[in-house]
Chains A and B, each alone.
Chain A
Amino acid sequence: MHRTSSFTRRSAIALAAAMAFAGLAHAQKVADIRKSGVLRVGAQVAQVPWGFSDKSGKLTGYDIEFAELLAKDLGVKPEFTPVTVANRTAALLTGQVDVLAAVVTILADRQKVVLFSRPYSYLDTVLIGKSSLPVMKSYAELKGLRIGVPRGSVQDTAVTQVNSGATVQRFDDDAAAVQALLSGQVDLAGAASTQLGPIGQVAGAGKYDIKLVVSRGYQGAAVRPGEREWVGYINDFIARKTASGELDALYRKWIGLDLGKDLPATGETAAALPAFVAK
Chain B
Amino acid sequence: MIRDFTLTEFWVIAHGLWATLLLSAVAFVGGGLAGLGVALARTSSVRTLRWAAGLFIDFFQGTPMLLQLFLVFYGLPVLGLKLNVWVAAAAGLTLHAGAYLGEIWRGGIQAVPGGQTEAASALGLGWWARMRCVVLPQALRMSFAPTVGFLVQLIKGTSLAAIIGFVELSRSGQLVSSVTYKPLLAFGLVAACYFAICFPLSRFSVRLERRLALPA
For B154-171 the 0/1 string (1 means CB < 8 A from A) is 000000001111010000
A225 at the interface (CB under 8 A from B): no
A11-B70, A49-B1, A86-B163 given; A94·B78 CB < 8 A: yes
Instruction: Please determine whether A24 and B78 come into contact, CB atoms closer than 8 angstroms.
Output: yes
B159 to chain A minimum Cβ distance, whole angstroms, is: 13
Residue in chain B with minimal CB distance to A12 = B74
A201 at the interface (CB under 8 A from B): yes
B63 at the interface (CB under 8 A from A): no
- Residues of A with C-beta under 8 A to B8: 55-57
| Total A-B pairs, Cβ < 8 A | 77
Residue in chain B with minimal CB distance to A42 = B165
A176 at the interface (CB under 8 A from B): yes
Instruction: Please determine whether A87 and B77 come into contact, CB atoms closer than 8 angstroms.
Output: no
B139 to chain A minimum Cβ distance, whole angstroms, is: 39
- Residues of A with C-beta under 8 A to B79: 22
Distance, CA A207 to CA B2, complexed state (A): 17
Instruction: Please determine whether B181 and A22 come into contact, CB atoms closer than 8 angstroms.
Output: no
A82-B165, A83-B165 given; A46·B74 CB < 8 A: no
B175 at the interface (CB under 8 A from A): yes
Instruction: Please determine whether B175 and A15 come into contact, CB atoms closer than 8 angstroms.
Output: no
From residue 41 to 56 of chain A, which have CB atoms closer than 8 A to chain B? 45-49, 52-53, 55-56
Instruction: Please determine whether B78 and A19 come into contact, CB atoms closer than 8 angstroms.
Output: yes
B202 at the interface (CB under 8 A from A): no
A178 at the interface (CB under 8 A from B): yes
Picked from A49, A52, A87, the residue with its CB within 8 Å of the CB of B164 is A87
A81 to chain B minimum Cβ distance, whole angstroms, is: 7
Instruction: Please determine whether A198 and B181 come into contact, CB atoms closer than 8 angstroms.
Output: yes
A266 at the interface (CB under 8 A from B): no
For A123-143 the 0/1 string (1 means CB < 8 A from B) is 000000000000000000000
Chain A contributes a number of interface residues (CB within 8 A of B) equal to 37
Instruction: Name the interface size band of chain B.
Output: 20 to 34
Distance, CA A145 to CA B61, complexed state (A): 43
From residue 86 to 101 of chain A, which have CB atoms closer than 8 A to chain B? 86-87, 90-91, 94-96
Instruction: Please determine whether A48 and B2 come into contact, CB atoms closer than 8 angstroms.
Output: yes
- Residues of A with C-beta under 8 A to B3: 55
Instruction: Please determine whether B178 and A175 come into contact, CB atoms closer than 8 angstroms.
Output: yes
Instruction: Please determine whether A46 and B181 come into contact, CB atoms closer than 8 angstroms.
Output: no
Distance, CA A52 to CA B182, complexed state (A): 15
A24-B78, A95-B77, A96-B77 given; A90·B2 CB < 8 A: no
From residue 144 to 187 of chain A, which have CB atoms closer than 8 A to chain B? 173, 175-176, 178-179
**Most chain A C-beta atoms within 10 Å of own C-beta, residue among B8, B174, B181:** B181
A197 at the interface (CB under 8 A from B): yes
- Residues of B with C-beta under 8 A to A49: 1
Query: B residues within 8 Å of A by Cβ?
Result: 1-3, 6, 8, 70, 74-75, 77-80, 82, 162-165, 167, 174-175, 177-179, 181-183
Beyond the given pairs A19-B78, A49-B1, A197-B2, 9 more chain A to chain B contacts, judged by CB atoms under 8 angstroms and listed by A's residue number, are A11-B70, A48-B1, A48-B2, A94-B74, A94-B78, A175-B181, A197-B1, A198-B2, A201-B1
27 contacts between A and B (CB under 8 A): A11-B74, A15-B74, A18-B78, A46-B174, A46-B178, A48-B2, A48-B179, A52-B1, A52-B179, A53-B175, A55-B8, A82-B165, A82-B167, A84-B163, A84-B165, A87-B74, A90-B70, A91-B74, A94-B78, A95-B82, A173-B178, A175-B174, A175-B183, A198-B2, A199-B181, A201-B1, A202-B182
Query: A residues within 8 Å of B by Cβ?
Result: 11, 15, 18-19, 22, 24, 45-49, 52-53, 55-57, 81-84, 86-87, 90-91, 94-96, 173, 175-176, 178-179, 197-199, 201-202
Sorted nearest first, the 6 A-B pairs with minimum C-beta distance are A46-B178, A198-B2, A90-B74, A94-B77, A202-B181, A201-B2
